[in-house]
C-alpha cells in the first residue's frame, strides 16, 4: 500500500517535474502513489487539478505532495492557493533566483518540448533511435562507421535497453552485437566489428543472474542453464581482455548507471540532453 500521493503538475509533458521529483523522493523510505498531470496550461485546468488534489487529501486523510513546473503565473497561483497539499514549485525555487543572479529574465518557455520538433537536435535524436533499432542484436552491418558506440556481450546482458537509452536520452547512434559460441570457437570478435574496435564497449553479467533472466524467457532450456551461462560469460570476458575492450558488469547496475559509465569512457564530442 502507498503511504502518500504525489502529483507532478506541468504545462508540458511533466517529464521534468517527475524526473526531478523522483530524484528527491528517492531519498526517503516510503512508497508514494504517482499521478502525472501534464498540459495544465489554463486556469480552468488548474482548477481541475485543485479539485483532484483536494479530493485525494480528503479521501486519504493526508496532504498530498505536488511538484510543479508551471510557467504561467496565474495557473501556478491557482495551484498554490487552492491545493490542500505541500506544493513545491521547481521554477520558483531555481529559475527565479537564477534570474536575479544572472541579471536576466528566463525565456519562460512553456514545456521543454514546445518547439523541439523543429530543431536539428530533435531530428538527430530520431535518426539515432532509428539507427539503434536497425543495428539491434547484430541485425545489420551497414553504416557501422556512423556508430558512436558498439555494445557487445552475451545474449541478455543489457545491450538492447542500453543502446536505446543512449539513443533516446543522448542522441547517440548505438549499435549492439551478441557474442555467440561461434565467436568463442574462433576466439575472435564478429568480423564486421574488427574495423571498429575503438568504438566497442563490452557488457558482462554474473552467470547466476544471467540464468535467472534467460529462464524467464526460455525456462529449463540449455540457453538458460547455469553451466551454459557460466561458459558464455567466461568466454566473453576472456575475449574482451584479449581484444583490449573496455567493459563493465551490468549485474547490479541500472540502465542509467551503465549509460553514464559508457559516456565517461567514450566521451563523444556531441551529446544531447
Looking at the structure, do residues 261 and 177 belong to the same domain, yes or no? yes
pTM (global) more than 0.85: no
Looking at the structure, do residues 22 and 155 belong to the same domain, yes or no? no
Is 109 inside a domain boundary? no
- Residues 38 and 14 sit within 8 Å (Cβ to Cβ): yes
pLDDT in tens, 86-128: 999 988 888 878 888 999 887 666 555 445 555 777 788 889 9
Chain-centroid distance, C-alpha 55? 33
Q: How many domains does the chain have?
A: 2
pLDDT tens, per residue, the chain with 273 residues: 667 999 999 998 888 888 889 889 989 988 899 999 999 999 999 999 999 999 999 999 999 999 999 989 999 999 999 999 999 998 888 887 888 899 988 766 655 544 555 577 778 888 999 999 999 999 998 899 999 999 999 999 999 999 999 999 888 999 999 999 999 999 999 999 999 999 999 999 999 999 999 999 999 999 999 999 999 999 999 999 999 999 999 999 999 999 999 998 887 655 555
Looking at the structure, do residues 88 and 162 belong to the same domain, yes or no? no
Looking at the structure, do residues 75 and 27 belong to the same domain, yes or no? yes
Q: Which of 47, 75, 102 is the last residue of a domain?
A: 102
Residue span of the structural domain in which 63 resides: 5-102
C-alpha distances in Å from residue 96, one per residue of 70, 78, 106: 12, 19, 8
Consult the annotation and say whether 12 binds a ligand: no
SS (H, E, C) 18-40: HHHHHHHHCCCCCCEEEEEECCC
Looking at the structure, do residues 135 and 252 belong to the same domain, yes or no? yes
State the DSSP string of 191-224.
GGGGGGGGGEEEEE--HHHHHHHHHHHSTT-TTT
Consult the annotation and say whether 153 binds a ligand: yes
CATH at residue 229: 3.40.50
Is 251 inside a domain boundary? yes
Consult the annotation and say whether 14 binds a ligand: no
Consult the annotation and say whether 116 binds a ligand: no
Looking at the structure, do residues 26 and 77 belong to the same domain, yes or no? yes
Cell of 160: 538492447
Is 108 inside a domain boundary? no
Is 152 inside a domain boundary? yes
Chain-centroid distance, C-alpha 57? 31
Consult the annotation and say whether 155 binds a ligand: yes
Give the three-class secondary structure for 6.
strand
Amino acid at each position: 500500500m502507498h503511504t502518500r500521493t504525489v502529483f507532478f503538475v506541468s504545462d508540458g509533458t511533466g517529464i521534468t517535474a517527475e524526473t526531478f521529483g523522483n530524484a528527491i523522493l528517492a531519498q526517503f523510505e516510503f512508497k508514494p502513489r504517482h499521478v502525472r498531470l501534464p498540459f495544465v496550461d489554463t486556469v480552468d485546468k488548474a482548477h481541475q487539478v485543485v479539485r483532484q488534489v483536494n479530493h485525494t487529501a480528503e479521501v486519504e486523510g493526508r496532504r498530498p505532495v505536488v511538484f510543479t513546473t508551471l510557467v504561467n503565473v496565474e495557473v501556478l497561483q491557482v495551484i498554490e492557493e487552492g491545493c490542500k497539499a505541500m506544493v513545491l514549485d521547481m521554477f520558483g525555487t531555481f529559475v527565479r533566483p537564477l534570474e536575479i543572479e544572472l541579471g536576466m529574465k528566463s525565456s519562460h518557455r512553456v514545456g521543454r518540448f514546445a518547439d523541439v520538433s523543429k530543431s536539428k537536435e530533435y531530428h538527430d535524436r530520431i535518426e539515432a533511435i532509428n539507427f539503434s533499432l536497425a543495428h539491434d542484436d547484430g541485425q545489420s552491418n551497414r553504416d557501422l562507421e556512423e556508430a558512436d558506440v558498439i555494445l557487445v556481450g552475451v545474449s541478455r546482458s543489457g545491450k538492447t535497453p542500453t543502446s536505446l537509452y543512449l539513443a533516446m536520452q543522448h542522441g547517440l547512434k548505438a549499435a549492439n552485437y551478441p557474442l555467440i559460441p561461434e565467436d568463442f570457437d574462433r576466439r575472435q570478435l564478429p568480423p564486421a566489428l574488427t574495423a571498429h574496435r575503438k568504438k566497442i564497449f563490452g557488457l558482462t553479467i554474473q552467470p547466476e543472474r544471467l540464468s535467472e533472466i534467460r529462464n524467464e524467457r526460455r525456462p529449463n532450456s540449455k540457453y538458460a542453464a547455469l553451466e551454459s551461462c557460466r561458459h558464455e560469460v567466461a568466454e566473453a570476458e576472456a575475449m574482451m581482455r584479449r581484444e583490449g575492450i573496455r567493459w563493465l558488469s551490468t549485474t547490479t547496475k541500472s540502465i542509467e548507471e551503465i549509460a553514464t559509465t559508457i559516456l565517461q569512457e567514450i566521451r563523444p564530442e556531441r551529446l544531447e540532453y
